Structure 1
Amino acid sequence: MARKDLQLVLLLLLGIYDASANREAECIEVGYARSAGSILHQGFDATKEELLQKWAHEDAEGVPTFSGLTQVLKNVTRTGELLESTSKTILGMIRKTRVGKRCPEDWLLKGLEKHVIPLMNIDKTLSEDLGLVMSFRCMVGSPYPNVDGTCVNQESPDLGAIGSKFLRLQPAAAGKDGFSLRESVSGEKTLPSARAVANLLRKHLKRPPVTGIFGEWGHFIQRDSFSIPESPWVEGTDCCATPDVEDCAPIYLAEDDPDHSTIQCLSFKRSAKAQAILGHRETLSLVSTYLDATPVYGPTNEVAFSRKTGYFGYLKAPEKEEEATDGDKKCAAPENLEGCFQLAEGDDWLESLRLLFVLEHNRIVDALAEINPHFDDSLLYNEARRITIAEYNHITFNEYLPVLMGEELVKKHSLNPGAEGPAAGYIKEVNPGILSSFSVASYRNPSMHTEWRAKWGPTEILESSHYNAVREDPYQDLLAMDIQRGRDQGLVGYLTWRRFCDNTHSYNTWEDLEKNLSGDLVKDLKELYQNEIDDLDPLVALLEKPDEEDGGIVGKTFTCLMADQFARLKTGNRLFWEHDSSMLTVEQRDFIKTSTLAKLLCRNTLVHAVPANSFLPPSDTNPLVTCAEIPEDDISAWKDTSLIEKMKEVKAAKEGEEKAKEEDKEKTSKKEEL
Structure 2
Amino acid sequence: MGQKGMRVLTLVAFLVAVTPLRARDPSLRWKPKQNDRLHVIAAARKLGTSALLRSVEKAKQQVNDAYERAQESLREKLRTNKVTPADLMMLFKQPVGQTLEVVKAADYLHTAYDLLKEKLRSASTEDFNITDVLSRVQLQTIYRATGCERQEMRTVVCDEQSPYRTITGECNNRRIITLGSSNRPYARWLLQEYEDGVSLPRGWTETKRYNGFPLPSVRLVSNEIVRYPNQIRLQQQPQQPPPIQPITDDSSRSVFFMQWGQFIDHDMDFGPSVTPLCGSECAKTPSCFPIKLPPNDPKLEQGCCIPFTRLAPACNGGYAIRNQIDALTPFIDASQVYASEVDWALQLRNLSNDLGLLAVNNRTTDRGLALLPFGTPKGFPDNCHLSNPAKNVGCFNAGDNRVNEMPGLIALQTLFMREHNRLATELKRMNPQWNGTVLYQEARKIVGAEIQIITFNEHLPLLLGNTFSRNSQRAPNRYRGYNESVDPRIASVFTIAFRFGHTSVRPSVFRLDAQYRVMNESRLEDEFLATWRIVQSGIDPVLRGLMARPAKLLKQNQIAVDAIRNDLFRVLVKVGLDLLSLNMQRGRDIGLSGYNAWRQFAGLSQPKNEAELAAVLRNPSLAKKFIELYGTPDNIDLWIGGVAEPLVTNGRVGPLLASIIGKQFQNIRDGDRFWWENPGVFTPAQRKALTQVSLPRIICDNTNIREVPRFIFRANQYPRDFVNCNTIPRLSLFPWKAKCESSGLVPADLPHTCALIRRKTKTAQWRRSHSGLQRTLF
Give TM-score scaled by structure 2 length.
Answer: 0.66
Matched residue, 1:574: 673
Q: Secondary structure of 1:516's partner?
A: helix
Question: 1:252 deviation in Å?
Answer: 3.7
Letter of the 1:217 counterpart: W
Matched residue, 1:81: 111
Matched residue, 1:6: none
2:143 and 2:318 in contact (8 A); partners too: no
Output aligned runs, 1:392-471, within 5 Å: 392-410=451-469, 412=472, 419-420=478-479, 424-445=480-501, 447-449=503-505, 454-458=525-529
Is 1:173 the counterpart of 2:193? The answer is yes
Output aligned runs, 1:653-668, within 5 Å: none
The answer to which of 172-181 and 492-501 deviates more is: 172-181
* Aligned match for 2:220, one of 196, 202, 224: 196
Is 1:281 the counterpart of 2:337? The answer is no
Question: 1:599 deviation in Å?
Answer: 1.8
Output aligned runs, 1:37-436, within 5 Å: 41=45, 48-55=53-60, 63=68, 68=96, 69-83=99-113, 92=121, 96=125, 101=126, 105=127, 112=132, 126=145, 130-132=149-151, 133-176=153-196, 178-183=198-203, 185-186=209-210, 190-203=214-227, 208=250, 209-232=252-275, 234=276, 237-241=277-281, 243-254=283-294, 256-261=296-301, 265-274=305-314, 275-310=316-351, 311=353, 312-318=355-361, 320-322=365-367, 350=407, 351-410=410-469, 412=472, 419-420=478-479, 424-436=480-492
Q: Where does the alignment leave 5 or more consecutive residues of structure 2 unmatched?
A: 1-24, 72-93, 229-246, 370-391, 397-406, 508-522, 532-567, 741-748, 763-778
CA 1:608–1:89: 2 relative to 1, 3 Å: farther
2:59 and 2:108 in contact (8 A); partners too: no
CA 1:406–1:654: 2 relative to 1, 3 Å: closer
* Aligned match for 1:592, one of 654, 676, 690: 690
Q: Secondary structure of 2:170's partner?
A: coil
1:31 and 1:112 in contact (8 A); partners too: no
Measured against aligned partners, the alpha-carbon deviations of 1:239-277 in whole angstroms (never above 9, x if no partner) come to 323623332112244453355556764321111121323
Separation of aligned partners in 1, 2:116 and 2:496: 27
CA 1:379–1:257: 2 relative to 1, 3 Å: same
2:269 and 2:327 in contact (8 A); partners too: yes
Output aligned runs, 1:6-45, within 5 Å: 28=29, 30=31, 41=45
Question: 1:280 deviation in Å?
Answer: 1.8
Q: Share of identical aligned residues, percent? A: 23
Separation of aligned partners in 2, 1:154 and 1:368: 30
Output aligned runs, 1:481-496, within 5 Å: 481-496=582-597
1:426 and 1:572 in contact (8 A); partners too: yes
Q: Secondary structure of 2:723's partner?
A: strand
CA 1:565–1:119: 2 relative to 1, 3 Å: farther
CA 1:459–1:472: 2 relative to 1, 3 Å: same
The answer to which of 559-568 and 38-47 deviates more is: 38-47
Measured against aligned partners, the alpha-carbon deviations of 1:182-227 in whole angstroms (never above 9, x if no partner) come to 1364488542222222344433697643110111111112222111
Q: Secondary structure of 1:552's partner?
A: coil
Measured against aligned partners, the alpha-carbon deviations of 1:23-54 in whole angstroms (never above 9, x if no partner) come to x9778473699599867745796655323234
Question: 1:299 deviation in Å?
Answer: 2.6
CA 1:61–1:600: 2 relative to 1, 3 Å: closer
Q: Secondary structure of 1:614's partner?
A: coil
1:79 and 1:276 in contact (8 A); partners too: no
Separation of aligned partners in 2, 1:436 and 1:166: 6
Question: 1:295 deviation in Å?
Answer: 2.0
Letter of the 2:218 counterpart: A
* Aligned match for 2:637, one of 533, 537, 551: 537
Q: Secondary structure of 2:708's partner?
A: strand
Q: Secondary structure of 1:625's partner?
A: strand
CA 1:89–1:434: 2 relative to 1, 3 Å: farther
Measured against aligned partners, the alpha-carbon deviations of 1:166-185 in whole angstroms (never above 9, x if no partner) come to 11111111114642111364
Question: 1:569 deviation in Å?
Answer: 0.7
Supply the RMSD in Å over aligned alpha carbons.
4.1
Q: Secondary structure of 1:276's partner?
A: helix
Q: Where does the alignment leave 5 or more consecutive residues of structure 1 unmatched?
A: 1-23, 325-344, 461-468, 657-674
Separation of aligned partners in 2, 1:290 and 1:44: 44
Separation of aligned partners in 2, 1:164 and 1:649: 43
Letter of the 1:149 counterpart: G
1:446 and 1:554 in contact (8 A); partners too: no
Separation of aligned partners in 2, 1:44 and 1:161: 36
Question: 1:484 deviation in Å?
Answer: 0.8
Measured against aligned partners, the alpha-carbon deviations of 1:402-453 in whole angstroms (never above 9, x if no partner) come to 1111155246357666x35xxx311122221111111123442365449996
Separation of aligned partners in 2, 1:172 and 1:450: 34
Question: 1:646 deviation in Å?
Answer: 5.1
Matched residue, 2:608: 508
CA 1:320–1:239: 2 relative to 1, 3 Å: closer
1:610 and 1:627 in contact (8 A); partners too: yes
Letter of the 1:172 counterpart: Q
CA 1:623–1:86: 2 relative to 1, 3 Å: farther
CA 1:654–1:244: 2 relative to 1, 3 Å: closer
Give TM-score scaled by structure 1 length.
Answer: 0.75
Is 1:525 the counterpart of 2:544? The answer is no
Letter of the 1:316 counterpart: A
Measured against aligned partners, the alpha-carbon deviations of 1:112-152 in whole angstroms (never above 9, x if no partner) come to 59x99798756675477851421012222322222222222
1:173 and 1:182 in contact (8 A); partners too: yes
Matched residue, 1:641: 739
CA 1:149–1:87: 2 relative to 1, 3 Å: farther
CA 1:40–1:585: 2 relative to 1, 3 Å: farther
Separation of aligned partners in 1, 2:496 and 2:466: 24
1:413 and 1:567 in contact (8 A); partners too: no
Question: 1:71 deviation in Å?
Answer: 3.0
Structure whose CA Rg is larger = 1
Measured against aligned partners, the alpha-carbon deviations of 1:322-378 in whole angstroms (never above 9, x if no partner) come to 579xxxxxxxxxxxxxxxxxxxx9897655211111111112122212211222222
Measured against aligned partners, the alpha-carbon deviations of 1:83-110 in whole angstroms (never above 9, x if no partner) come to 56557778x58954xxxx4xxx5xx759
Measured against aligned partners, the alpha-carbon deviations of 1:439-491 in whole angstroms (never above 9, x if no partner) come to 1234423654499964234269xxxxxxxx97967423222212111111111
Separation of aligned partners in 1, 2:132 and 2:117: 8
